[in-house]
Structure 1
Amino acid sequence: MADAAVRPAQFDDVAVITRIHFDTWRTAYDGLLPPEVFEAFDFTEAERAWADAVEHAHVFLATEGEWTVGFVVAGSAPDQEVQNADGSLPADAETTALVSTLLVEPRWGRRGHGGRLVATAAHALREQGATRAVAWIPEADAASKSFYARVGWDPDGTVRTLDAAGRPLREIRVTGGLALLLRH
């Protein structure tokens, strides 16, 4: 394997982040998301959203050699992302962060990039005072469930259903500490 690294994203990385977003969704979520989601993907809108994330959140890129192969976006968790099923907030809501996106292109998978990305984001989140984080993943996404289990994050019993172009997409919330230990 060529040199693998993680670095903070810059504004000039927005186009590659958008490409990885689309290509990874198209490959990894084919069958989970209806074709209409991919057909409706708006690259201009996505680039605006990723530029905003680069400005306001922790966005890190995974690289292997000269290639950018994945990214993670993490930051403070809005209340609706951490609230309990009954709508109440947990006691640690103020120190709970959100990993809103973690994508590694499938062709670069199983090479440690996801673990390096999450560990780097966890370090940045700890520095800003976070004690744990949450992430939402499609319930049917076995690869993401397995990945998060290896870093010690487990489902907390909270689910939500999103509208994916008229098809329900059920997501589960996983949560864990920020002193990550990768499990095999």
Structure 2
Amino acid sequence: MIRTATPDDLPAIAALHLQSWRTTYDGLLPADYLGAGAEAQLRAKWADLPRGTTLVAMQGDRLAGFISVNTGNPAYLDALHIAGFAQGGGLGPRLIAAAFAQIAAQGVTAAYLYIVDGNDGARRFYERLGAMETWRGPDPDYDFPSTAIRLDWRDISPLVGMAKAP
């Protein structure tokens, strides 16, 4: 079940986000950052619901995944994370489609995100969904050397259409 996130979801979102970063970025980002630094950053990030669209996917009472999109045109896909037990079942594309359907209803037509260089699995995933690299350079989010890659959807309507499909 995919639904709008509530403040009660924030601790589980922060925990999944941290676990996902520690798994995905092991070897890509410094280990000391993935320890206490990332934990503090994500705890602060998820202290309140962000502006925009944040959806959660639940399997029973467990958080299976979440997506957070900051609206603008283009919209910024800030976070998409799927719990290990729910990976590989198509939940990621369903969350993107549901979030993009909500922002499209507000007149948004395009979206983008940043990934850490070396996160090849994420890059393949987003490219399969039509995103294209438009920029690469120093990642301003970190105070250590890291390269960010910007991926853009110039037209989100094909993904919005996925949300409407039976």
TM bucket (normalised to shorter chain) is 0.7 to 0.9
Contact 2:63 2:83 in 1 (8 A): no
The one-letter amino acid paired with 2:60 is G
Whole-Å Cα distance in 2 between the matches of residues 43 and 142 of structure 1? 23
SS of the aligned residue for 1:41 comes to helix
- 1:159 counterpart residue number: 136
CA change 1:33–1:55 in 2 (3 A) is closer
- 1:136 counterpart residue number: 114
Q: CA deviation at 1:146?
A: 1.1
Q: CA deviation at 1:38?
A: 1.7
Q: Percent identity?
A: 28
- 2:80 counterpart residue number: 102
Matches within 5 A, 1:1-184: 5-41=1-37, 43=39, 46-52=42-48, 54-77=49-72, 95-156=73-134, 158-162=135-139, 164=142, 166=144, 168-176=145-153, 177-179=155-157, 180=159
CA change 1:118–1:50 in 2 (3 A) is same
Q: CA deviation at 1:147?
A: 1.0
Contact 1:74 1:100 in 2 (8 A): yes
Aligned length: 158
Greater fraction strand: 1
Whole-Å Cα distance in 2 between the matches of residues 128 and 40 of structure 1? 38
Q: TM-score, length-normalised on structure 1?
A: 0.77
Whole-Å Cα distance in 1 between the matches of residues 5 and 125 of structure 2? 23
Whole-Å Cα distance in 1 between the matches of residues 75 and 109 of structure 2? 8
Q: CA deviation at 1:76?
A: 2.3
Unaligned runs of 5+ in 1: 78-94
Unaligned runs of 5+ in 2: none
Deviation readout 1:61-85 (Å, 9 max, x if unpaired): 12223321211110224xxxxxxxx
